[in-house]
Amino acid sequence: MSEESHRVRFAGKHVLITGGARGIGLEIASQFAREKAIISLFDTHRQNLAAAAEKIAATGIKVYTYQVDVSNRQQVLEAVERVEATAPIDVLINNAGIGRETPFLEITEKEWKEILDVNLTGMFYVAQAVCRYMYSRKKGVVVNMGSKNGLDGEYGYAHYNASKGGVIMLTKTMALEFAHIGIRVNAVCPGYIQTPMSMEIDPPEFTQQFVDKYIPLNRAGSVEEVAPAFLFLASEESSFMTGQILILDGGQLAGQKPGNELLKK
């Protein structure tokens, strides 16, 4: 594949990205835009949506924004109908998610419900609404946002870990149900990535300590490194992949990181 064809794998394709107004979602949108896709964004934050649209539109790409709470099924159904009326959705990037650190015994019913409603139930609402249209056309691609935490839990994140474990099984089940008609469903599971959300939660000293202790590549990941995985899974380059979980974690799940005393031998 030539460099030029690689850059326009998605020319004319309509890509819907949830949680697309900042962080990984915005970077995914920007990279799809560079490959000439039509972009639709869902997010709850009106100002972030406006800023994201301005950034993408400056590249000459058509971009549509919708203020949507993915945990509200009626909002999702109405918004997806509007997106489809603009152009049939070819690719769904189910990225919207939230996280919060709370010890297990201190998680309230409200907090548990909020995390699960956005990260898992909201993903289901959007996927079901979009896949009804894809099913009628017998084509389409879905890429869900998972997490390393859905495969190997983390202290203080029981609700987040549970939601991302659910995303992995949702992905696999969707893939099984839709494979026979040509709809592919995969997930990306990032590890520790520096995003606006993570930087709001974690001070720099915590990030450095975490990296030193757990990540073999000795650094956190960036949104620019995560986004290409979504484009790969949405492209024809992954045409024989479905029901798969692509992990980008700097080696964290490979095993226990060796200490400096071993590395010096």
Tokens 């995303």, residue located: 167
Strand (E) or helix (H) holding 187: strand 183-190
Q: Which of 200, 111, 191 is nearest to 146 (CA)?
A: 191
User: Is there a contact between 217 and 257 (Cβ–Cβ < 8 Å)?
Assistant: no
Give the H or E element holding residue 114.
Answer: helix 109-116
* DSSP letters spanning 30-82: HHHHHTT-EEEEEES-HHHHHHHHHHHHTTT--EEEEE--TT-HHHHHHHHHH
User: What does DSSP assign to residue 120?
Assistant: I
The amino acid present at 61, given as its one-letter code, is I
Nearest-angstrom CA–CA distance, 171 and 169: 5
Which positions are annotated as active-site residues? 160
Query: Which tokens hold the place of 132?
Result: 């009804």
Distance CA 16, CA 93 (A): 6
